[in-house]
Amino acid sequence: MKSFSEFTKNELFKKDNSNSCCDFAELSGMMLFGSNITLKRIRFATENEDVLERYITLADRFDVKVGVARTSDLSSRCLAVVSDKDDISRLAEKLGIIDSATGLIKYRISDEIIKNECCVRAFVKGAFLGGGTVIDPKKAYNLEIITPYMGLHNDFLDLLTKSGFEFKTVMRKSKYVLYTKRSEVIEDFLSFIGAFNAQMELINIKIDKEIHNSFNRSINIESANYDKTIDASVKHIKAIEKIENKIGLDELTTDLKEIAILRLANKSMSLQELGKLLNPPLGKSGVNHRLKKIIEISESL
Ligand SMILES: [Zn+2]
């Protein structure tokens, strides 16, 4: 069965950008968050075939040659590798990731890529495709985007904050994890990147959960009342047994003896239910009054 992440990514993979300017922004997000970039090669890794296909489609629009391989380890990840030197230097320049002082790769988000509002969305979508996961909302609310690079993490957190999203940061296995556990933030995020079906699915699950929770709450209240009934009943029974052992139930008045016998025979009944067994029936407070008297008598013994 598809995970919720796969479901979301599959929806995104089917949708193309409405503006062509967004293609590079999306590719950049995927590359920065899903690749290992050196001056010799750009190695994009994913476990998702759809994401791989999307990456290759976008790269192809910029005439970048991509070779595909598969890792032999258990994760069976797909690899898309760019190894042509000209392609790499062209990409690195367009991405703005060459440090002018050292000539080395720096993982940062260049303002040039995200200058249009539409491209911000495309970049965030690419980042999610490359390094994001969202847990099945039936289990928990959690969406996260991971990178080992501090600069990239800081730039992305900035970008998300400017776009109105509140994300938190935690370190996991020396990686920076940007995450949110708030369902409203996940909802908005999914719609921001164009995953409307995933957003609807999350909303539906949330409603289901709320109905379930309110049902559970009412059951809990009933069982709390039930516990009270049992506690009281235990007290009554102890008192009645003490009386029987010490003086015998025949020493009680008819009214009290009647309720004592009913109580012993119906240990889990509420006072109201006990009262209905009497002839003529007696209300809750009447039953309570008689049982209180029984407790008083047992205490005096
Ligand atoms: Zn755009």
pLDDT (tens digit, 9 = 90+) per residue, 142-161?
Answer: 999 999 999 999 999 999 99
How far, in Å, from the CA of 113 to the mean position of ligand 1?
A: 9
Neighbouring residues of 45: CB distance < 8 A, sequence distance ≥ 6: 34, 35, 36, 71, 77, 78, 79
pLDDT surpassing 70 at residue 222: no
Q: Give the pLDDT band of residue 207 (cuts 50, 70, 90).
A: confident
Q: Tell me how many domains the chain contains.
A: 2
How far, in Å, from the CA of 177 to the mean position of ligand 1?
A: 26
Residue 62 has a pLDDT of 93
pLDDT surpassing 90 at residue 193: yes
Report yes or no on 123 lying in a domain: yes
Q: Are residues 140 and 35 in the same domain?
A: yes
Q: Regarding predicted confidence, which is higher, 175 or 209?
A: 175
Q: Give the pLDDT band of residue 253 (cuts 50, 70, 90).
A: very high
pLDDT surpassing 90 at residue 18: no
Report yes or no on 203 lying in a domain: no
Q: What is the pLDDT of residues 29-40, one digit of tens each?
A: 999 999 999 989
Residue 76 has a pLDDT of 64
Q: Give the pLDDT band of residue 212 (cuts 50, 70, 90).
A: confident
How far, in Å, from the CA of 268 to the mean position of ligand 1?
A: 69
Residue 262 has a pLDDT of 92
How far, in Å, from the CA of 30 to the mean position of ligand 1?
A: 15
Q: Are residues 190 and 288 in the same domain?
A: no
Q: Name the amino acid, one letter, at 273.
A: E
Separation of alpha carbons 223 and 217, rounded Å: 10
Q: What is the pLDDT of residues 84-132, one digit of tens each?
A: 999 998 998 889 898 888 888 899 999 999 999 999 999 999 999 999 9
Would you tell me how many other CB atoms lie within 10 Å of the CB of residue 12?
Answer: 21
179 beta partners? 144, 168
Q: Regarding predicted confidence, which is higher, 165 or 246?
A: 165
How far, in Å, from the CA of 21 to the mean position of ligand 1?
A: 4
How far, in Å, from the CA of 192 to the mean position of ligand 1?
A: 14
Separation of alpha carbons 215 and 83, rounded Å: 58
How far, in Å, from the CA of 125 to the mean position of ligand 1?
A: 12
Q: Are residues 188 and 258 in the same domain?
A: no
Q: Are residues 154 and 227 in the same domain?
A: no
Q: Which of 194, 211, 244 is the last residue of a domain?
A: 194
Q: Give the pLDDT band of residue 26 (cuts 50, 70, 90).
A: very high
